[in-house]
Structure 1
Amino acid sequence: MSICVRALLHNKRKWKKTLIIFCLLFFVVTLVLSGISIANAEEKKSEELRGTTGSSFVVERNLSTGGWASGSSGSYSTQEFITEEMLQTISAVDGIAGYDVSIVSMPYYFNEAGEPLVNVNGNGVNNYYTYGSINTEYNQLFLSGRFELVEGSHITENIKNGLIISKENAEQNGIKIGDKITGINDPYNDDPEVDMEIVGFFEIVADKEDEATMYDASTLWDYTDYAFCSFNTMKEMAVKYDDGNKIQEAHFYVTDAAQLEDIIKEVQNISSINWDNFIIEANDEVYQNISSSLSDTSTLIITLITVIIIASMVLIILILSMSMRSRKREIGILLAVGITKPSILLQYVIETLMTAVVAFPLAYLFSRRIAGEFGGLFGKAAENIIVTSQYFALVIVAGTVLLIVAVLISCIPVMRYEPKEILAQIE
């Protein structure tokens, strides 16, 4: 009788043991496949995160190394400002996705009828806390997720007179995309009027009660009363103010947060910039916080998979060891009639693998259906968790090796005896 036939007959005769091992393998493989898929989804999310969390570095004037002078408005730093040449040189470094430069002011805005745009906050102050930005897409308020552009487009270097306000303010003032707006930095100081065009609306995503995501530069302005205008437009509005139209700091955003430190080092090696006059600092707090959370989840998943595999191995070895003790007589007889120990071991391996051949594919099909449900326990969207054939192949290889090891370990107590010793113990 061939080894495979003996293995098949034994599994049929000892169907209860076979069913227990089948259920155990089915359960373990299902959990392992689901766990690997969740961990992989976590890794992909981490990779996406590295390019979308707004990890950046800021270059700003180093006032401590500059001189000071006095003017009609008081003392001011004579330290050099950031130039457009500096911006172009730094932004050309590999790994920098883009940059934003902002001049902040509090101008007033008027519609085509000359009526002022009224604030939502109701404090009686109708000017807007405004960023004059080169690329609003890279403004920290948008990249951090506090604001979301919901209509229109971002301001870019190609848009010379654009204005973005909150959708809530736009609705209150009856403003729509394409409307003409006049901006004045200070209408009571004979500042110039600058023509603008509404190019976009934003909505506030940040929780106003969450101090980690909500802040105001002044208690006079709520997020709804923020605005963004083109950089050149802000310079025109602030033309009468010495420091008001010059670049004091610039934010550069990287494509991969993990490369932030290397990129900063490369920027600091730019010889055309006198770094004694400027400070460069990393800003990846958002990435580090979220990345830490993702890492903790991945560690938990890997730990659970490891515990499940170890526990299942112990159980399988115990089940097979108990089965071996009950098969001493069979083993003694097989050895006595000339069947070698390797042949007997091979039979027992085949018995277990026959069960695995059925359990593994069924577990694969089942895990593809329920992996998303498991992912929900870790806050993952079901559509992001996919059990692939590559994972299945990995589990087959690893599972087969572990099963063979389990069979060999369970056979050690019996196989170390000679046939006469085994039969004598039975008698």
Structure 2
Amino acid sequence: MNFIQCAGRCFIRKKSRSIFLILLLTTVFLLLLTVVSVAGHAKTVLEKMEHNFNREFVVDAQNAPGSLTLERIHEISAREDITAYRLISNAVPVEFADNNGTSLSVKTDGDNCFISPGFEHAGTLVSNVTSDSDELFSEGTLKIISGRHVKENDAHKILVHKELTDKNSLHLGDTIQLKFPRAITRDLESMGYDTSHMNTHTIQAEIIGIFESQDNGHTAGMHLSHQLYENYCYLDLETYSSVFNPKAPPFFFQAAFSAASSSDFAAAVNAVKNLDWPAGQPNSIVSDLDHYADMIGSLSSLSNLLRILWIVIILVCITLIYFLLSHGVKQRKREIGILMSLGLSRSRILMQHIAEVLLAAATAMVIAFALSRGIVHVAREHMIAAAVKQSDGTEQAQPEQADGSPTSVSSDAAGIMLILGFLLIPVSVIAAEYPVLQKEPDENLRSVS
């Protein structure tokens, strides 16, 4: 009878010992599969969030009129780590009046329209390098029906909505006035705009184009009257800039930049932050990384914690199995002494005992694999959801699975379990039995008696 057959018979005959060993190893393997799989999934989600989000950051210079000039925007966009940029149209509230200073009638009707005090004759003043570069025109929400767009070299030129011209009998070539009364400047200051250099005197502009809205975009919810498309107007960039900072060349309050996929995103953002801004440091440079920072930090902490945990589990498992086997060897000294007296070699006895433990480990692995799928799924959902909730205080922003497939035991977890079961456990058996096997048969028998 070879050592494998002997191991099988001993494994079946010693039921209590075998069942205890199987339960112990099953518990260890389940913990290992769960912790390593969840740690791996957290790492995958973390990598996806860090590398697959839109690599864009927005420079917000509302507090520093004149700092984000076109020259500065082109300077930033020319950097090797920047691949593209988009100009975010300037947009602020303004009051309308005709050439004689009489306030114009604006759209204020509708149940979903709220009129702020002091905004009864107000609309939204928008500016870009050219009016057709504004996203509302480029996407087709607004459309020129008469006249032309505002061009780059225009000055004191404006586009207005058809409803504004109809309400106030305005035509192409007419002049309207733009005012910034105290109610509007207070509103700008509350939003973080620096109005200290602002020219609050009346600005005059010639109507060179009339547009209409294809979709007013305000079909649901409460809206401020001056934010309705019917109350929009588009002013040339030079005149707009002169309102907020007469001494500055044409500038924007916001611009968005995209970093190259091969670049260090955080380093690119910091490089822009550290530029010399003569007209004042922009209020903020916000990147997508900032939006995900808390969540990424929580998931990173969870991933590190789980990595430490599974290393601890392995060390505890090896230590526990070693002492368990050492205790078992002391109880089997008589058996070992008899087998050695019958002529069985030390290696033959050792191989039999290793085979017994491997049978228990293999059985435990099969059970652990069968139970692990549901446990890993539940553990992953709860642990990662808890990390995300801790980062933003909600339960809504749970990360999606990287590949959209059902959660399963990771290959890393299975590999670690196989190494532990078929390599480290046999090494523990060898370490536990080595001192006993080195003794002569009669020594083992005398120590028992």
Category of TM-score, reference length = shorter chain: 0.5 to 0.7
Q: Out of 46, 69, 90, which is 1:82 matched to?
A: 69
Show structure 1 runs of 5+ residues with no match.
Answer: 64-76, 135-153, 164-178, 205-221
TM-score (norm 2): 0.62
CA 1:249 to 1:366, structure 2 compared with 1: closer, same or farther past 3 Å? same
Map of 1:38-117 to 2, 5 A cutoff?
38-50=38-50, 51-52=52-53, 56=57, 58=59, 82-83=69-70, 86-87=73-74, 90=77, 93-94=80-81, 99-107=86-94, 115-116=107-108
Deviation track 1:37-73 (CA, whole Å, cap 9, x = no partner) reads 222221222123224387636385997xxxxxxxxxx
- 1:392 is the counterpart of 2:397: no
Structure 1 residue aligned with 2:425 = 403
Structure 2 residue aligned with 1:303 = 308
Shift of 1:157: 8.7
Contact 1:328 1:426 survives alignment (8 Å) = yes
Structure 2 residue aligned with 1:325 = 330
Q: Tell me the SS of whatever aligns to 1:246.
A: coil
TM-score (norm 1): 0.64
Map of 1:15-414 to 2, 5 A cutoff?
15-50=15-50, 51-52=52-53, 56=57, 58=59, 82-83=69-70, 86-87=73-74, 90=77, 93-94=80-81, 99-107=86-94, 115-116=107-108, 123-124=116-117, 125=119, 155=135, 158-159=138-139, 162=142, 186=178, 192=207, 195=211, 197=213, 198=215, 234-236=234-236, 239=239, 242-243=242-243, 246-254=251-259, 259-264=264-269, 283=286, 284-380=289-385, 384=401, 385-389=407-411, 391-414=413-436
CA 1:242 to 1:53, structure 2 compared with 1: closer, same or farther past 3 Å? same
Whole-Å separation in 1 of the counterparts to 2:40 and 2:344: 47
Whole-Å separation in 2 of the counterparts to 1:376 and 1:331: 49
Whole-Å separation in 2 of the counterparts to 1:226 and 1:379: 43
Q: Tell me the SS of whatever aligns to 2:352.
A: helix
Shift of 1:416: 3.9
Shift of 1:373: 1.1
Shift of 1:294: 1.3
Whole-Å separation in 2 of the counterparts to 1:156 and 1:412: 80
Q: Tell me the SS of whatever aligns to 2:383.
A: coil
Shift of 1:129: 7.3
Show structure 2 runs of 5+ residues with no match.
Answer: 97-104, 144-160, 166-175, 181-201, 245-249, 386-397, 402-406
CA 1:279 to 1:85, structure 2 compared with 1: closer, same or farther past 3 Å? closer
Deviation track 1:314-339 (CA, whole Å, cap 9, x = no partner) reads 33223222221111011112223343
Contact 2:67 2:278 survives alignment (8 Å) = no
| Structure 1 counterpart of 2:37, one-letter code | S
Contact 1:93 1:267 survives alignment (8 Å) = no
CA 1:240 to 1:316, structure 2 compared with 1: closer, same or farther past 3 Å? closer
Shift of 1:259: 2.1
Whole-Å separation in 2 of the counterparts to 1:114 and 1:296: 54
Whole-Å separation in 1 of the counterparts to 2:116 and 2:277: 43
Contact 1:107 1:185 survives alignment (8 Å) = no
Contact 2:92 2:125 survives alignment (8 Å) = yes
Whole-Å separation in 1 of the counterparts to 2:291 and 2:334: 67
Worse overlay, 13-22 or 375-384: 375-384
Q: Tell me the SS of whatever aligns to 1:318.
A: helix
Contact 1:194 1:236 survives alignment (8 Å) = no
Shift of 1:422: 0.9
Shift of 1:286: 3.2
Identical pairs, percent: 21
| Structure 2 counterpart of 1:29, one-letter code | F
Contact 2:333 2:445 survives alignment (8 Å) = yes
Q: Tell me the SS of whatever aligns to 1:106.
A: strand
Deviation track 1:100-145 (CA, whole Å, cap 9, x = no partner) reads 5342311579xxx9633667566444657788689xxxxxxxxxxx
Contact 2:116 2:224 survives alignment (8 Å) = no
Shift of 1:396: 1.2
Structure 2 residue aligned with 1:8 = 8
Shift of 1:406: 2.4
| Structure 1 counterpart of 2:354, one-letter code | V
CA 1:241 to 1:19, structure 2 compared with 1: closer, same or farther past 3 Å? same
Shift of 1:91: 6.8
| Structure 1 counterpart of 2:77, one-letter code | I
Alignment RMSD (CA, Å)? 4.8
Whole-Å separation in 2 of the counterparts to 1:88 and 1:324: 76
Whole-Å separation in 1 of the counterparts to 2:13 and 2:226: 78
Deviation track 1:70-102 (CA, whole Å, cap 9, x = no partner) reads xxxxxxx7x675217844861774465754534
Whole-Å separation in 2 of the counterparts to 1:90 and 1:24: 61
| Structure 2 counterpart of 1:56, one-letter code | F
| Structure 2 counterpart of 1:10, one-letter code | C
Contact 1:61 1:277 survives alignment (8 Å) = no
Shift of 1:12: 0.6
Shift of 1:256: 6.8
Q: Tell me the SS of whatever aligns to 1:242.
A: helix
Shift of 1:312: 2.9
CA 1:55 to 1:378, structure 2 compared with 1: closer, same or farther past 3 Å? farther
Q: Who wins on radius of gyration, i.e. which is larger? A: 2
